[in-house]
Amino acid sequence: MTEIIGRARRLGDDINTDYIISSARKKTTLDEQILKQYLLESLDPAFASSVRAGDVLVAGKNLGCGSAMEVAATVILAAGIRAVLATSFARSFYRNAINNGLLPIECDTTEILEGDGLMITAGPDGTSITNERTGRCEIRPPLGGIAGAILDAGGLVAYLRREGRFVPLGRT
């Protein structure tokens, strides 16, 4: 069971991975502790310094489009953000999030505003997202399948260390 209580940090649609962390920054180092000071700098240079541990990124549709670069997921984690909410995700970013234990939640984000208090509970029965301001609670089904197993293991490294290979689960 994962519980996150934090502040919504509101982003728009089509936030690409270059906006999350620029390719040009990534060439200087892969150390997330350094890169995290440039999180989302192309959109708002002051964003990184305003992030508090427990913050939750909340986006519209197509979060993480563009480059498949994995630092986009690991830099978010390094900044202390453990969950990302979006109406929809780009495929490679979604996989990268799961593989690193960053919780990606696909849900209706239209009513969530910057600074809203969010309570997120993720467990075997699914994920609930409660907005303290509106009182609205949305329940999402558990991920299931191999993706769910990887997330449950805490990421792809832990999953493969345990299983040694991808274990087919059949239809989802």
Partner 1 sequence: MAFRAARTQLYRMPPQTIAEKILSAKCGRLAHAGDVVVCDVDLVLGTDASAPMAIGYFERMGGPGARVHDPSRVAFALDHYTPQSESESTAKFHAQVRAFAREQGVRVFEVGEGISHQIIVERGIVRPGQLIVGADSHTVTCGALNAFATGVGSSDLAAAMLTGQLWLRVPETMRVTLRGDRPAGVAAKDIALAIVAMLGGDGAEYHAIEFVGPAADSFSRDDRLVLSNLMVEAGAKAAIWEVAGGVFADAGARCVRELVVGIDRLTPRVALPHAPKNVVAIADAVGTPVQMVFLGTCTGGRASDLRDARAILERGGGRIADGVTLVVTPVSSDVARQLEADGTLPALARMGAVITAPGCGACCGTSGVIPDDGMTVLSTANRNFKARMGNASAPIYLASPAACAAAALSGAIADPRTVRAGP
Q: Which parts of this chain interact with partner 1 (CB under 8 A)?
A: 14, 16, 18-19, 22-24, 26-30, 42-43, 61-62, 65-71, 73, 88, 90-92, 95-96, 99-100, 145-147, 155-157, 160-161, 164-172
Q: Report the C-alpha gap between 4 and 31 in whole angstroms.
A: 25
Task: Tell me the sheet residues that pair with 16.
Answer: 65
Q: How many CA atoms lie within 13 A of 135 on its CB side?
A: 0
- Minimum CB–partner distance for residue 92 and partner 1 (Å): 6
- Minimum CB–partner distance for residue 100 and partner 1 (Å): 7
Q: Report the C-alpha gap between 130 and 144 in whole angstroms.
A: 22
Residue number, 119 or 156, with CB nearest to partner 1? 156
Residue number, 70 or 116, with CB nearest to partner 1? 70
- Minimum CB–partner distance for residue 64 and partner 1 (Å): 10
Chain centroid to CA 39: 13
Q: Report the C-alpha gap between 122 and 140 in whole angstroms.
A: 9
